Amino acid sequence: MSLSRDVAALMRAVADEVMLPRYRTLSASEISEKSPGEVVTCVDREAETRLRDGLDRLGTGARVIGEEACAEHPALLHGVGRGLVWLVDPLDGTANFARGDGPFGMMVALVADGDPVASWMLDPVTGRLCHAERGLGAWIDGRPARIAAPQGRPVAALATQFMAPHERTRVTRSATRFAQEPIPRCAAESYPRLVLGRNQLALFQRILPWDHAAGVLFLTEAGGRATHWDGSPYRVGSSQTGLLAASSSPVWDVAMTALCPTLSTIGQYEAIAA
């Protein structure tokens, strides 16, 4: 079995055996706050352990960096932009999952010296699997994925929740060229929406590596464009601010022209040491 199929099979097994049985059945004692306003569940931790052990068994020699392990030991992120690394978000959209709501997903990316080279995003409820390999393309459930030209006014989903209220207002007003809809609060859903045509623009301020490496590769291999706010190429471990992800270069150009004056004044939310 190929690496891509091995990883997909591992993710589906973890979703079926760990995640879905506890969907809408969690007790209050199985949900806790790991930082102000951010929850974690027993499912996050158990799923990450299963994914870590399974990825280790694949024998790639890559170290595994998972969201929950880093929450307890932040030093694990040191050097994330060097060498061969598995990035794991075992349950993306935890707050949705904990409420018994959706969307939520599972994300895995293989990164070489800061550049994503393979990625997988699984929707456990529908079974939809988005996969990409650098230079080879993107697929949804095994079928090639290419972004279609937008019809009508482009739609943006702007993740401004970590901004100060006045910054949030300025960003929203700067994006008047776009219709706007609420974010799904799940990056594993945000990136597929850009490829499937629901959204044409997504903006993120916080760019923890496990949230975006898989999605950026999937989007760009499908024909989209994603950069840091200053226009520099996305790189895991970069100290640059934010992400601007678009369904095409022309949409990205329009968004950058409209938003750049505002984004350039917004401070960096989190830096990840390369």
List pLDDT tens digits, range 79-104. 999 999 999 999 999 999 999 999 99
Domains 3-144 and 155-263 share a fold: no
Q: Is the pLDDT of residue 271 over 90?
A: no
| pLDDT recorded at residue 148 | 84
At the topology level, CATH places domain 155-263 in: D-Maltodextrin-Binding Protein; domain 2 (3.40.190)
Strands 63-66 and 84-92: parallel
Rounded to 10 degrees, what is the CA torsion of 28, 32, 33, 39? Answer: -80
Q: Are 104 and 124 in contact (CB under 8 A)?
A: yes
Q: Which residues partner with 157 through β-bridges?
A: 202
Whole-angstrom distance, CA of residue 106 vs CA of residue 46: 13
Which residue has better confidence, 74 or 148? 74
> Count of residues for the chain?
274
The pLDDT tens digits of the residues spanning 160-206 come to 999 999 999 999 999 999 999 999 999 999 999 999 999 999 999 99
Domain boundaries, the chain: 3-144, 155-263
Query: Which one-letter DSSP state was computed for residue 45?
Result: H
Q: Is the pLDDT of residue 269 over 60?
A: no
Which residue has better confidence, 251 or 36? 251
| pLDDT recorded at residue 267 | 58
Q: Is the pLDDT of residue 24 over 50?
A: yes
| pLDDT recorded at residue 35 | 87
Superfamily name with CATH number, domain 3-144: Fructose-1,6-Bisphosphatase, subunit A, domain 1 (3.30.540.10)
Average pLDDT, integer, range 32-51:
95
Q: Are 224 and 248 in contact (CB under 8 A)?
A: yes
pTM score over 0.85: yes
Q: Is the pLDDT of residue 272 over 50?
A: no
Average pLDDT, integer, range 35-51:
95
Q: Are 219 and 194 in contact (CB under 8 A)?
A: yes
Percent of the chain with pLDDT strictly greater than 90: 91
Whole-angstrom distance, CA of residue 53 vs CA of residue 169: 44
Two tokens, residue 7: 């990883």
What value does the mean pLDDT of the chain take?
Answer: 94
